[in-house]
Structure 1
């Protein structure tokens, strides 16, 4: 079905978080700060891992990939939401809506698969420490990350492929601050029961199964930790607790949104804000910024940049003095 021949709607009105100007302005201030912290924290982690050879390990490679994905994920929705909060009539074209939908599920799908890879990485590191570098070498790690990207692309293109066939003849108001499958399907001028089942299977059930697999793997890890030394157990527990916290913050909202019929519930927008804005900001703090190795690497990077600026300033001063 060609959407150009069956759709009278050329764009959608985004109802956003509120219609009250004072609330929208307050949301703009709060979420501008949240987005700034998200960008700064995640880009800082990527820069630190890339610049420090001591962090060129599998675990930090995966963490830097997660930080990059969090930066991209929040940038898909946050900048437009901030602009729309100050706009009197926020609208998005049909093509722009599908583009946002594609990248939202593309990056989100990669994150889900990458978290599964990270759980496998921690499982191997704890259960088989002597063979860890052999099992999780650079080639295997690169293949797993590449497979995550392919999986995210397939997941996303299925969403777009199913949505683009729907006829939209009005209404044109999306009850959210970004384009997503549940809101779009409700605007279609056709029976979408079968399509909803397909979407729930592709989104909700896959997410739920991945979440259960992750919980099972971390439970097995916690059981194995009983045989480790106190110091090793403490370090591994800290890592596992961080991973479980992030997994919970990412997966539970997704399960709430996608693993049920696409109906409107009072908590929908709050949950959407949680996993599109808040979780990408918290990931650096939970996963990485409290890690001693990362903190040391950040201090080294800061000193290196300070010394570089100092040398540049000294060179400029010397050149000025030598100038006739």
Structure 2
């Protein structure tokens, strides 16, 4: 073992979780305007398993083709141990980030290089597990809700409300002044979501969601998929759909017959240290809580992916890399 190598989880071929292997690789060197972060925890997000399997859920015309071998992961929380030329950061700072997204983050590793602009100082009140859980999920909800014009108001329905993006969207909508927040998830998550501030809860396993909700102003859909159109009747004419993931919303029917406004399906979350710092302030204030419900050691990244792909997760899962 040498000081210029590190442990990382990589894949050399696309496939099932078993393609993830922990091995020694060269330690990265920070470039201009970058820092080297000693990673204490790395967040787990859907793009990680999409990339691992070759993005089969994305239409072929826009499907990314990442180069192999690949170190997955874009959410990191850790300590600055070195700085590149021109970096304004200081060695020893506690930081976290959504790294180089969209793009290649390489977070499943002991060390990661991160541009200054993507970093936020991790508040002393937050631990590294929370710091790793927040970036992608929190920025997705925060940036998308801010992207909507006008700002969300009236009744907002969050589909997939118990998941990583969903449970944060419920809280951000509540903090942002939504008149009513309706959380859609399976019944076992009702107490969790009501504690986070949901005004109403709908168990999608008990029957069609549209039988329980009508006249909503916003559908924030974190699930998407081939059945996404089934939720459209919850909206009033002129209501908006905010699709976080790809889904079949039957565009002509939605915009024509139902008179709905479909959000920009090409919208993409972006790395932003400034936005992440704003989220941190909401978490520290108590307005937003990050639910970390699964922690796996780095060596068990494949097991973490297997669990994630079973679905029905509550909150976020995180890889513990180092104390």
TM range (shorter): under 0.3
- Give the structure with the higher percent strand: 2
TM-score (structure 2 length as normaliser): 0.25
Instruction: Kindly name which structure, 1 or 2, has the bigger radius of gyration based on alpha carbons.
Output: 1
Higher relative contact order (CA 8 A, sep 6+): 1
TM-score by length of 1: 0.25
